[in-house]
């Protein structure tokens, strides 16, 4: 063995080292603008929406699938949450409706993929447009803003949950929720039958079938989980915006996929890490925050993020080639 | 003055890190000679050939072609130097035509224009040498059978007029007729004065086609000689470094109740008609040519291939044809295609070994990873799988060890019936014997074994009864004593019962 650090340890740590590297580079360039505790709070809060959706996406990508519809599902669930609040169903009602919306969208994706045997890329490219259309339809081409007193107070309740604000609160509950979901997602991937089957399907679907894994059912459940988490992300987005915006989260699917890929997952399936994904999402949020703090224009951030994705995958490929020898 | 040999490799050393792949290996092939290069998996045959074809560079040692020093730095240089490789894995581009494949990477051109007509004569003459009329220059490779595709690869070597041609396990995807044909072609190459290196696991093939042999073991040449003056036992003992007491160990076993009854089965994938009864405590063999529907029979019973008509009963009850149900009813299948289907090669040994056992469990039930690990370690020990440990990716195991993982999985599932599709394909002689012993142990333990194999010898060695498949129709069973290689072949080729 040439490596003293086992491969999986390096794979787990690499994205976190990436986060550290970004912080250090900016600290060297701009010593007057260090990452304070406050900045970390902001960054963590900004990671929530992408992070939640990315946990689900990691499962999908490990199963050798992809979900391009995640942005539309987030928007649609956000609108549904807003409608539920407007209808006076309270915070619990809003969350339930949003989660249900997300799960139904996910099941629909899953059924299209296994029922019509469509490549996931095509199926979710289609539903990306469809779910967005539904969101625009139910929101009358705009946003849903709860307006009566009860609605406003419910919205504020959810917003407080998602945003920084209250005194004596170190991190908003949404960040803790993201952490819990990440840990659950990671544990389930390693310790449950579903997790094992997800990896098996992504690595070699024929082998999985030979070994009696119920491919169709498993795939539908995976997409349903991804949808459910996108629904949760939708609630968080609603809390952040305080309106259900049917045009929100456009293009967020690429950020979500980027987080997963930076985190070490392979788009050809069979491997990926939930904690890595979280680090990937954090990396992008930190970078965005640092670029803003440094006063760099938006386009620079895009240019850097693009190359971080390229670099992450290149390093991974290089590492795999080395260990294969 | 004697002519220098056409190919001479001397004192070749190669190490990968701490692993010594070759140590002082040599190989001499005269013009007009077929030299068999044999040895177990991992003996260094592939490494030696990779050095010859410029994929690897040796740590030390020399290669001479017709007496001249030759050190290819890459495959391109090796090809230009007159080395042609015909690989085990097919390396043809399906979407191109035969001619485009033959000229791939060496397209005749002028001023950037592709001018295949310049090489047309050579293309046609190489195809003529193959003697297969359905392979025309303009035929898309996607329309050809696997066997014909392999011939296209051989033609590629001929087009470039290579004096040295290496065949690496060329018959592993061919049926008996195609093998005959391949041997004819190799015979013609020999008569044409070329040097042929023939790598194979099948000793009976080697004995038919080769003039001389070289055996590699652990990176060293342990013996060489003339085929005509060497017995099979001598070859085998050179390969494994010990006397092989018995190739086909047989543990006494007793035929029990009928376990699987197949009636009038017809699949959508090519099996036309099959009746069979598989009993506990017996080994039933299915002989036949490749493509005759043997695999489809097993896959139909197991539920991998869709059924048109007919039924399968397991222990007297009708059986829904679906892999998950099959495992629940105690049936396991080992696929003939280990790399593409049998194993998820990127995943660990432990995951592959235990994958079937969780198939019917609820999604959110927990895996007992600790228990699983100790079970896997037990199986590694039981099957003497050579591995660094349960976490090693299956991809990095040798063929024989991969097959042991497949068999261990079936044992781990604790099934009553095993359907084995070419269980010894691509594994070395030592591992083969272990597989045969395992099959015998299974039947002695009262399990039912249904085995498909291309090797008649193998079936005659291990089975209690044999049925022959011909063009999708399964013949009547006969006790193994009533078969011999000749009668099996007659049935496989002609379908009628031999007298």
Kindly state the DSSP code that residue B358 receives in the 8-state scheme. Answer: G
Among B228, B219, B171, CA closest to B198: B171
Q: What is the pLDDT of residue A1?
A: 34
**Cβ separation of B323 and A210 shorter than 8 Å?**
yes
- For residues B29 and B167, the answer to whether their CB atoms sit within 8 Å is no
Does position B72 have pLDDT exceeding 70, yes or no? yes
> If you ran DSSP here, which 8-state letter would residue B97 be given?
B
Q: Please indicate if any CB of chain B lies within 8 Å of the CB of A206.
A: yes
Average pLDDT of chain A is 91
Chain-centroid distance of CA A124 in Å reads: 16
The percent of residues in chain B predicted with pLDDT above 70, rounded, is 95
pLDDT at A165: 62
> Which domain, by its residues, includes A18?
7-324
Contact A213 B359 (CB under 8 A): yes
Q: Has residue B373 got a pLDDT over 50?
A: yes
Say if CB B91 and CB B115 are below 8 A apart: no
Mean pLDDT (whole number) for A251-271? 92
DSSP helix/strand/coil, B153 = helix
Please provide the CATH number assigned to the domain covering B7-240: 3.40.50.300
Rounded-to-10 torsion of CA B240, B244, B248, B249 = -110
pLDDT confidence of B499, banded at 50, 70, 90? very low
Is A203–B347 a contact, with Cβ atoms under 8 angstroms apart? yes
A1 in any annotated domain = no
Residue A7 has pLDDT above 70, yes or no: no
**Distance from C-alpha of B139 to C-alpha of B362, rounded to nearest angstrom:** 50
CA angle in degrees (0–180, nearest 5) for B263-B269-B272: 40
Is A317 a residue whose pLDDT tops 50? yes
Q: Which residues contact B287 (CB under 8 A, 6 or more apart)?
A: B294, B453, B456, B459, B466, B467, B468, B469, B488, B491, B492
When pLDDT is cut at 50, 70 and 90, the band that residue A122 belongs to is very high
Whether residue A33 lies within 8 A of chain B, CB to CB, comes out as no
Rounded CA-CA distance A78/A117 in Å is: 30
pLDDT at B397: 87
Mean pLDDT is lowest, of B142-146, B211-215, B492-496, for B492-496
pLDDT tens track for B363-372: 888 888 899 9
pLDDT value at A126 more than 90: yes
Q: What is the pLDDT of residue B138?
A: 86
A259-263, B68-72, B127-131, B144-148: range with highest mean pLDDT:
A259-263
Chain segment A26-71, per-residue pLDDT in tens: 999 999 888 888 899 899 999 999 999 999 999 999 999 999 999 9
Considering only residues B241 and A282, tell me which one the structure prediction assigns the higher pLDDT: A282
Asked if the model's pLDDT at residue A3 lies above 70, the reply is no
Min distance A211 CA to chain B CA atoms (Å): 4
Residue B464 phi/psi, 5-degree rounding, is: -95, -40
Task: Tell me the pLDDT band of B154, cut-offs 50, 70 and 90.
Answer: confident
Q: What is the mean pLDDT of chain B?
A: 87
The reported pLDDT for the residue numbered B88 is: 66
Neighbours of B30 (CB within 10 A): 17
Given this model, what pLDDT does residue A8 score?
A: 62
What are the chain B neighbours of A199 within 8 Å (beta carbons)?
347, 351
Question: Facing residues of B333 across strands?
Answer: B419
Beta bridge partners of A315: none
Pairing type for strands B7-16 and B478-479 reads unpaired
CB–CB contact B364 A218 (8 Å): no
Query: Per residue in B303-320, pLDDT tens?
Result: 999 999 999 999 988 888
Q: Does A38 touch chain B (CB under 8 A)?
A: no
Dump pLDDT digits (tens) for A263-279. 989 888 988 999 999 99
Dist CA A115 CA A101 (whole Å): 20
Range with the largest mean pLDDT of A23-27, A96-100, A318-322: A96-100
Shortest CB distance from A2 goes to which of B17, B346, B395?
B17
HSE (side-chain half, CA atoms, 13 Å) at B358: 27
Pick the more confident residue, A194 or B76. Answer: A194
Give the integer Cα–Cα distance in Å for B254 and A143.
77
Tokens at B124, concatenated: 């046609």
CA–CA distance, B183 with B170 (Å, rounded to integer): 10
CA–CA distance, B289 with B473 (Å, rounded to integer):
12
User: Least CB-CB distance to B365: which of A193, A203, A210?
Assistant: A193
Q: Which two tokens stand for residue A73?
A: 């599902």
The pair of structure tokens assigned to A129 is 């447009």
d(CA A49, CA A282): 11
Cβ atoms < 10 Å from Cβ of B344: 26
Residue pair A30/A294 in contact (Cβ under 8 Å)? The answer is yes
Residues in a beta bridge with B13: B60
Number of Cβ pairs < 8 A linking chain A and chain B: 93
Q: Which residue of B has its CA nearest to A212?
A: B324
Residue B184 scores a pLDDT above 50: yes
| pLDDT (average), residues B41-59 | 86
Asked if the model's pLDDT at residue B201 lies above 80, the reply is: no
Identify the CATH homologous superfamily for domain B258-494: P-loop containing nucleotide triphosphate hydrolases (3.40.50.300)
A178 domain-assigned = yes
Contact A207 B323 (CB under 8 A): no
Task: Tell whether the model's pLDDT for residue B108 goes beyond 60.
Answer: yes
Q: What is the Cα–Cα distance from B295 to B304, expressed in whole angstroms?
A: 10
Residue B489: both structure tokens together: 């072949």
Domain locations in chain B?
Answer: 7-240, 258-494
The secondary structure of A278-313 as a DSSP string is: HHHHHHHHHHHHHHHHTT--HHHHHHHHHHHHHHHH
Distance of CA B495 to the CA centre of its chain: 25
Confidence class for position B37, pLDDT limits 50, 70, 90: very high
State the Cα angle at A154 between A153 and A155, rounded to 5°: 90
Query: How close A309 comes to chain B (CA, Å)?
Result: 23
Contacts of A96-100 spanning 24+ positions with Cβ under 8 A: A98/A231, A98/A232, A98/A234, A98/A235, A98/A238, A99/A228, A99/A231, A99/A232, A99/A235, A100/A231
Q: Does the CB of A83 have a partner CB in chain B at under 8 Å?
A: no
- Alpha-carbon distance A241 to A233, whole Å? 12
Q: Which of A190, A200, A221 lies nearest to residue B347, judging by beta carbons?
A: A200
The whole-number pLDDT of residue B121 equals 83
Statement: residue A4 has pLDDT above 80: no
Residue of B356, B361, B362 lying closest to A211 (CB–CB): B356
Q: Which residues pair with B83 in a beta bridge?
A: B164
Is the pLDDT assigned to residue A153 strictly greater than 50? yes
| pLDDT tops 70 at residue A325 | no
pLDDT digits (tens, 9 = 90+) for B269-300: 989 999 999 999 999 999 988 788 999 999 99
ipTM: 0.84
B267: pLDDT strictly greater than 50: yes
d(CA B456, CA A57): 50
Chain A interface, mutation test: which of B328, B346, B357, B366, most A Cβ atoms within 10 Å?
B346
Residue B377 DSSP symbol? H
Instruction: Give B-chain residues touching A271 at CB under 8 angstroms.
Output: 346
Q: How far is CA A201 from CA A143, A207, A217, B84, B344, in A?
A: 40, 8, 12, 38, 9
Are B358 and A191 inside 8 Å of each other by CB? no
CB B332 within 8 A of CB B356: yes
Q: Output the six-digit token pair for B101.
A: 């494949």
Q: How far is A219 from chain B (nearest CA, A)?
A: 11
pLDDT digits (tens, 9 = 90+) for B452-462: 998 888 899 89
CB contact under 8 Å between A212 and B323, yes or no, is yes
Burial code of B5-17, b = ≥16 C-beta within 10 A, e = fewer? bbbbbeebebeee
B271/B293 Cα distance (integer angstroms): 5
Rounded CA separation B293/B297 (Å): 6
Do B364 and A199 count as a contact with CB atoms less than 8 A apart? Answer: no
The whole-model pTM stands at 0.78
Residue B284 to residues B19, B101, B290, B317, B367, Cα–Cα distance (Å) = 41, 42, 18, 21, 36
Tell me if chain B has a CB within 8 Å of the CB of A204: yes
Q: Residue B298 and residue B448: Cα distance in Å, rounded? A: 13
- The backbone torsions φ and ψ at residue B226, rounded to the nearest 5 degrees and listed phi first, read -90, 135
Q: What does the pLDDT average to over B385-409? A: 89
Pick from B17, B304, B344: CB nearest A203? B344
Q: Residue B97: beta bridge partners?
A: B140
Q: What is the pLDDT of residue A323?
A: 62
Question: What is the maximum span of chain B, computed from C-alpha positions, in angstroms?
Answer: 78
Residue (of A78, A115, A112, A113) closest to A97 by Cα position: A78
Which comes out higher in pLDDT, residue A104 or B231? A104
Rounded Cα gap, residues B332 and B135, in angstroms: 39
| DSSP at B355 | G
Total domain count, chain A: 1
- A2 lies in a domain? no
Q: Which residue of B has its CA nearest to A198?
A: B363
Token code pair at residue B366: 């927990």
Is the Cβ pair B323, A270 closer than 8 Å? Answer: no
Query: Counting Cβ atoms within 10 Å, is residue A102 exposed (0-12), middle (13-18) or buried (19+)?
Result: buried
The closest of A221, A237, A260 to A76, measured between CA atoms, is A237
**From B391, which residue of chain A is nearest by alpha-carbon distance?**
A8
Task: Tell me the shortest Cα–Cα distance from B63 to chain A, in angstroms.
Answer: 24
CA-based nearest residue in chain A for residue B17? A2
Residue A127 has a pLDDT of 98
Would you call A324 an interface residue with chain B, using a CB distance cutoff of 8 Å?
yes
Residue B498: is its pLDDT beyond 50? no
Measured distance CA(B149)–CA(B137) in Å, rounded: 13
The pLDDT of A8-19, averaged and rounded, is 80
Among residues A273, A249, A250, the alpha carbon closest in space to that of A262 is found at A273
Which of A106, A105, A70 is CA-nearest to residue A223? A106
Name the percent of chain A in helix, strand, coil, to the closest 5.
Answer: 75, 0, 25
Mean pLDDT calculated for residue range B105-130: 80
Contact in structure between B497 and B475 (CB atoms under 8 Å): yes
What confidence score (pLDDT) does residue A129 get?
97
Q: Find the mean pLDDT for residues A88-116.
A: 96
**Which element (helix H / strand E) includes B479?**
strand B478-479
Cβ A113 vs Cβ A205: under 8 Å:
no
């Amino acid at each position: 063995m040439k490596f003293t650090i086992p491969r999986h340890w390096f794979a787990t740590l690499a994205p976190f080292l990436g986060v550290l590297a970004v912080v250090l580079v900016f600290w060297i360039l701009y010593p007057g603008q260090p990452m304070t505790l406050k900045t970390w709070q902001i960054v963590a809060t900004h990671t929530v929406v992408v992070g939640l959706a990315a946990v689900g996406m990691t499962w999908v990508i490990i199963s050798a699938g992809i979900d391009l519809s995640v942005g539309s599902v987030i928007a649609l669930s956000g609108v549904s949450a807003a409608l539920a609040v407007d209808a006076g169903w309270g915070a619990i009602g809003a969350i339930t409706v949003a989660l249900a919306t997300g799960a139904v969208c996910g099941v629909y994706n899953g059924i299209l993929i296994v029922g019509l045997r469509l490549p996931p890329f095509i199926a979710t490219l289609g539903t990306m447009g469809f779910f967005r259309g539904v969101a625009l339809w139910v929101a009358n081409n705009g946003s849903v803003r709860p307006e009566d007193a009860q609605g406003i107070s419910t919205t504020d309740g959810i917003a407080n949950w998602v945003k920084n604000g209250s005194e004596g609160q170190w991190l908003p509950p949404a960040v803790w929720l993201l952490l819990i979901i990440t840990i659950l997602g990671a544990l389930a991937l390693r310790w449950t039958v579903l997790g094992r089957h997800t990896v098996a399907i992504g690595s070699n679907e024929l082998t999985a079938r030979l070994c009696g894994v119920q491919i169709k059912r498993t795939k539908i459940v995976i997409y349903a989980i991804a949808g459910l988490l996108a629904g949760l992300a939708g609630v968080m987005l609603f809390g952040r915006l305080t309106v259900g915006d049917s045009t929100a989260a456009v293009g967020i699917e690429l950020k979500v996929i980027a987080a997963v890929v930076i985190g070490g997952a392979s788009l050809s399936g069979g491997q990926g890490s939930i904690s890595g994904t979280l680090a990937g999402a954090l990396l992008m949020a930190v970078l965005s925050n640092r670029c803003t703090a440094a006063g760099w224009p938006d386009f620079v951030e895009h240019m850097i993020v693009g190359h971080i994705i390229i670099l992450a995958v290149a390093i991974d490929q290089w590492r795999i080639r080395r260990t294969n020898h | 003055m004697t002519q220098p040999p056409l190919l001479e490799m001397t004192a070749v050393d190669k190490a990968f890190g701490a692993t010594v792949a070759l140590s002082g290996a040599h190989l001499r092939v005269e013009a007009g000679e077929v030299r068999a290069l044999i040895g177990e998996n991992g003996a260094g045959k592939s490494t030696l050939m990779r050095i010859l074809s410029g994929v690897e560079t040796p740590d030390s040692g020399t290669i001479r072609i017709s007496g001249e020093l030759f050190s290819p730095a890459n495959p391109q240089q090796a090809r230009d130097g007159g080395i042609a490789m015909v690989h085990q894995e097919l390396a043809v581009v399906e979407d191109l035509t035969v001619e485009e494949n033959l000229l791939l990477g060496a397209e005749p051109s002028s001023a950037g224009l592709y001018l295949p007509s310049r090489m047309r004569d050579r293309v046609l003459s190489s195809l003529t040498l193959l003697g297969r009329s359905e392979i025309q220059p303009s035929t898309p490779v996607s329309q050809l059978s696997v066997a014909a595709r392999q011939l296209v690869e051989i033609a590629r070597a001929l087009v470039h007029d290579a004096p040295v041609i290496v065949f690496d396990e060329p018959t592993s995807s061919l049926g008996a007729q195609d093998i005959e044909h391949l041997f004819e072609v190799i015979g013609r190459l020999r008569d044409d004065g070329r040097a042929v290196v023939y790598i194979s696991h099948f000793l009976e093939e080697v004995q038919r086609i080769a003039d001389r042999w070289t055996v590699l073991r652990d990176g060293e040449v342990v013996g060489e000689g003339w085929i005509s003056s060497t017995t099979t036992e001598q070859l085998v003992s050179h390969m494994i470094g010990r006397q092989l007491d018995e190739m086909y160990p047989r543990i006494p076993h007793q035929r029990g109740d009928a376990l699987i009854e197949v009636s009038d089965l017809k699949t959508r994938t090519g099996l036309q008609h099959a009746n069979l009864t598989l009993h506990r405590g017996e080994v039933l063999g299915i002989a036949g040519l490749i493509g005759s529907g043997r695999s489809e029979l097993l896959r139909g019973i197991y539920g991998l291939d869709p059924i048109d008509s007919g039924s399968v009963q397991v222990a007297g009850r009708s059986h829904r044809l679906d892999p998950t149900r099959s495992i629940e009813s105690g049936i396991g299948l080992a696929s003939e295609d280990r790399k593409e289907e049998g194993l998820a090669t990127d995943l660990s040994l432990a995951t592959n070994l235990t994958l079937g056992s969780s198939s019917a469990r609820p999604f959110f039930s927990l895996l007992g990873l600790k228990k699983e690990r100790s079970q896997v370690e037990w199986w590694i020990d039981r099957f003497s799988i050579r591995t660094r440990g349960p976490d090693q990716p299956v991809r990095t195991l040798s063929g024989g060890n991969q097959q042991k993982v497949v068999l261990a999985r079936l044992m781990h599932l604790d099934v009553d019936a095993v359907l084995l599709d070419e269980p010894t394909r691509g594994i070395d002689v030592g591992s083969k014997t272990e597989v045969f012993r395992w099959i015998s142990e299974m039947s002695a333990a009262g399990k039912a074994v249904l085995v498909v194999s291309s090797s008649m010898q193998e079936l005659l060695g291990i089975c209690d009864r044999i049925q022959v498949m011909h063009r999708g129709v399964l013949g009547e069973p006969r006790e193994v004593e009533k078969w011999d290689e000749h009668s099996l072949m007659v049935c496989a080729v002609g379908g009628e019962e031999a007298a």
